[in-house]
Structure 1
Amino acid sequence: MIKNDLITLIEKKRAELIKVANSNGLTSTVAIRYSQELDHLINEYYRQHLNHVSSSRY
């Protein structure tokens, strides 16, 4: 996945999480699911970023 696509998905998921958390609470099932999805996207972003940084050093 392209870095800019991941950033867009992260921003979209973050906005969705805020909206759901405001209406249903942070501990609602849907807010937890969105939070986990956001975590997954952020982890993928950092995995790609770290791989890029590591490979550019050598």
Structure 2
Amino acid sequence: MDKLLLQKIEQCRKEMIALSGSYKLTSEVMVETSKKLDHLLNEYQLKNNQ
């Protein structure tokens, strides 16, 4: 298991939660952060399905 990748996922998740208090879900910053989290989650899934 990739601990660094899991840490990045958790950090990005916390960032999204913090941003959600100040920005609408459709704002550019929220969409970009969501894309970043999606990418990290996809990377994690790919690594763990091999």
Classify the TM-score, shorter chain.
over 0.9
Does the alignment pair 1:28 with 2:27?
Answer: yes
Contact 1:21 1:28 in 2 (8 A): no
Report the CA distance between 1:6 and its aligned residue: 0.6
TM-score normalised per structure 2 = 0.92
Structure 2: runs of 5+ lacking an equivalent: none
- After superposing on structure 2, the runs of 4+ consecutive aligned residues of structure 1 that deviate more than 2 Å are none
TM-score normalised per structure 1 = 0.80
Aligned residue pairs, count = 50
Alignment identity in percent? 38
Structure 1: runs of 5+ lacking an equivalent: 52-58
Amino acid at match of 2:41: I
CA RMSD for the aligned pairs? 1.1
Which protein shows a greater Rg? 1
User: Which of the pair has the greater relative contact order for Cα pairs under 8 Å at 6+ separation?
Assistant: 2
